[in-house]
Structure 1
Amino acid sequence: MSLPFLILYFYLMNFIYNILVHIAYGIIHFLSLFNQKLQLFIKGRKETFKKLSVIQSTDKTIWIHTASLGEFEQGRPIIESLKNTYPTHKIIVTFFSPSGYEIRKNYALADVICYLPFDTKKNMQNFVRAIQPELAIIVKYEFWPNLLSQLKKEGIKTILVSGIFREKQLFFKPYGKWMRSFLTAFDHLFVQNENSKKLLNTINYNNVTVSGDTRFDRVYEILQQDNTLDFINEFKYNTYTVVAGSTWKEGEELLVNYINEHASENEKFIIAPHTINSKKINELRNSILKKTILYSERNQVDLKEYQVFIIDTIGLLTKVYSYANAAYVGGGLLTGLHNILEPATFGIPVVFGGNNYTKFQEANDLIRLKGSKAITNQHEFNSIFTTLKQDVNVRTTMGKTCGDYVKNNTGATQLILNYINNLFQ
């Protein structure tokens, strides 16, 4: 490809992208009139630069960007270590998704928490210049062209952590030269597996380290905290208990059918839906034939008399998992698997949907190691949970595999911190 043609190609791609960004923003703005989550997406971004106004030109800052809650949990051990090591630096955390921002907007260890602006040239120029970070850390993905261009233009040290790359991504296509060019904004890429490194090497990106996933460090730390919940102690009452976390409708239907038709009296269930919506919570409750109680009603009753406990609030699931004898994690049937490492760290078997998990390294690993089971239909759901209830040996073996897997994959955070400390010397 000749130099004049390359220049024309990149100019044209940038022009098309920036047109599409503005069109997309207009569409999202219109759709937000009918969608509450998109309303948060638009409204929250209007507050971004106001929140950033507390940053002074003399401040030393470190910026961490996470797409949503899962990526925040990956970045969290790094944030906490940086805050401890560099207490005079201000920590800025940005989110792309409302589902991450709304839950962590009051996170105590960040000086500023806000939405990442929409990826227009003007927005990203203003954003990067407003925070002027000594270091930019992007977690897992979020390869926004205008953002990366501005970081590179300003000479900001930028790293990717817990990255994961797949052959189907645009970077690795013959026509992906434009997107590949933005990877040059990264001084270093810390990736989860060898395959990601090999893929990057094929397109001549060699500033890559296989560090693993920082989420292992985060979930392993959970074992050291106090996970006691008195109301769960009262509800569980030394009974075999299944915890279903971050559930969606398609998984809840399988779970409810199992509860209604196969659950014995000495088997309890805790359900923590992904979306806390009173109408959907009531629909879920009304579909269950066993005696069911909501978290919001817990103080009015004798909890041990109930068989199903629905957690109609946020922020408790991690601790609730510590009471599980087995876990089901939602999302894998349709939308995208949620965090299976949180229950796995407690050394219990983890079951999840088998339609949409292959992009998750930990899911593939635990299936291969036989610590987890992927299900796709009611028969498979009934079969595995009947086995887990009845066979202590299977339950114990699978659980130990999960717990050992988490423990054996810790260490990514320290590897990344060693690199950062060298940058700051």
Structure 2
Amino acid sequence: MYNLAIYLYLLGVAIASLFNKKVKKMWHGERMAFEVLREKVDPCASYVWFHAASLGEFEQGRPLMERLRRNHPEYKILLTFFSPSGYEVQKNYNRADIVCYLPLDTPINAIRFLRLVRPVMAFFIKYEFWYNYLHILKHRNVPVYSVSSIFRPGQIFFRWYGFAYRRVLRCFTHFYVQNDVSRNLLSGIGISQDIVTVTGDTRFDRVLKIKEMSKQLPVVDAFRKGHKVFVAGSSWPSDEDIFIEYFRDHPEWRMIIAPHVVSDEHLQQIIEKIGAGRKILRYTGATPEDAMDADCLIIDCYGLLSSIYHYGDVAYVGGGFGVGIHNVLEAAVWGMPVVFGPNNANFQEAQGLKGSGGGFDFSTYGEFEEIMHRLVSDEAWLEKCGRDAGDYVKSKAGATDIIFSNVKL
């Protein structure tokens, strides 16, 4: 049944690639993966394989890859992606020896792929459970680790009809899960607790490292001087409708907007929402002198958001009015309160941040206004919430150390 579904999916992707650019990139990348591997695989090398579905999972696997590269240079690293949103951003990642798409999980593809690479171990990040790849790896006695994984009762493994698919979980050598709920769910379907360790999420290690490596941005520094700054990161139009309305009525704060989609059309929409009477700058065309008397700075490029959060007093992380919020940890690590929309129940880091007192969610403009009013009017509370956010991130670090103290290299 699984393989039939995969072949039907493959047919659907082939058809969709005729009409959708993103799907076309994935379809082409998967077909080219074998050519990339034949060209680049060193048959004399020992490869450790990391698989991440997309960019978020890559960030969870990155601390492991960088630790492996630093401490065990005798291994080469193969990094694969499923989604173009991960591959296109990180295809030149210099800590991996080979970066490519993962061919779809058909039996033939899995056999061809593993014959070419012959990994000595594999790390699957968070939600990745590819049936054919995992069964062949187990058959070949290759250690396979699930890292930063998180399990929920609604997943197929824990449904009455999911008995057959549970077998894929028995292909893993060890699970490094994010929480006790995941460990208990695995225990409930017979997965031995000897192969399950609660480590938390490696993203906490990653954002602390990012903080150490942050960039100094003279334009943003000039923009901030002497003012309170609100940073909105990875925002969507539904987010912007709310916080822009608030800041039109509160000119005492300056605002930085780093939208999730950087396109001329979206940037123009933001400018129109802010309206006349405010000096608005686009980052790539600004100088520090321009920024000193600006009211709003729009980040019209990628790659700066984690450093830009450093300049904020309050952060807003977008996506909470869509499928789910983006990375709240990149903001919280700087020790400031983080505000986000209502679709955050499945994001453990957001739940933890709320529980710590450093994060706040809302559903309506009135609720957002109430949160901001207290943060603006109570300086001591603003500082406390920021400390709580930063302390929460620091308290959850260490997953990478735990994993590497257990994995046999």
* TM-score for both structures, normalised by structure 2: 0.95
2: CA distance between counterparts of 1:386 and 1:45? Answer: 50
- CA separation of 1:249/1:37 partners in 2, compared to 1, >3 Å: closer, same or farther? farther
Sequence identity (%): 40
* Counterpart position of 1:41: 26
Query: Any residues of structure 2 matched to 1:230-379 within 5 Å, and which?
Result: 230-260=218-248, 262-264=249-251, 266-289=252-275, 290-299=278-287, 302-354=290-342, 356-379=343-366
RMSD: 1.6
Q: Which moved more, 1:398-407 or 1:139-148?
A: 139-148
Q: How many Å apart are 1:25 and its aligned residue?
A: 2.2
- Partners of 1:240 and 1:389 within 8 A in 2: no
- 2:153 alignment partner, SS class: coil
SS in 1 for 2:232: strand
Distance 2:301 2:212 in 1: 24
* Unpaired segments ≥5 residues, structure 1: 1-15
Bigger mean CA deviation after superposition, 240-249 or 381-390 = 381-390
Contact 2:145 2:174 in 1 (8 A): yes
Q: Is the 8 A contact 1:227 1:322 kept in 2?
A: no
Q: Does 1:102 align with 2:88?
A: yes
Structure 2 residue aligned with 1:60: 46
- SS of the aligned residue for 1:175 comes to helix
Quote the Cα distance in structure 2 between the aligned partners of 1:209 and 1:411: 13
Aligned partner letter, 2:27: I
Offset from partner CA, 1:69-100 (integer Å, 9 cap, x none): 11111111111000011112111111112112
Pick closer, same or farther for the CA change 1:275–1:60 going to 2, 3 Å: same
Q: Does residue 125 of structure 2 align to residue 139 of structure 1?
A: yes
Tell me: CA distance 1:99–1:319, structure 2 relative to 1, closer, same or farther (3 Å).
same
Deviations 1:163-222 (CA, angstroms, capped at 9, x unpaired): 110111111112111111001110000001111101100111121001111111111223
Q: CA offsets, 1:2-45, max 9 Å, x none?
A: xxxxxxxxxxxxxx222222222222232233333222222222
1:129 partner SS: helix
Query: Contact conserved, 2:211 with 2:307, CA < 8 A, in 1?
Result: no
Q: CA deviation at 1:299?
A: 4.4
CA distances 1:117-158 after superposition (whole Å, capped 9, x unpaired): 112111121112221111100111111212222222222110
- Tell me how far apart the structure 2 counterparts of residues 49 and 403 of structure 1 sit (CA, whole Å): 44
Determine if contact 1:234/1:304 at 8 Å carries over to the other structure.
yes
Amino acid at match of 2:206: R
Deviation of the 1:226 alpha carbon: 4.0
Report the Cα offset of residue 55 of structure 1.
0.8
Name the CA distance, whole Å, in 2 between partners of 1:313 and 1:326.
Answer: 21
Q: Provide the residue aligned with 1:25 in structure 2.
A: 10
The runs of 5 or more residues in structure 2 that have no matched partner are none
Q: With structure 1 as the length reference, what TM-score do the two structures score?
A: 0.91
Q: Summarize the Cα distance change of 1:29–1:236 in structure 2 as closer, same or farther, 3 Å threshold.
A: farther
Would you say the 8 A contact 1:350–1:373 is kept in 2? yes
TM-superposed deviation, 1:160:
0.5
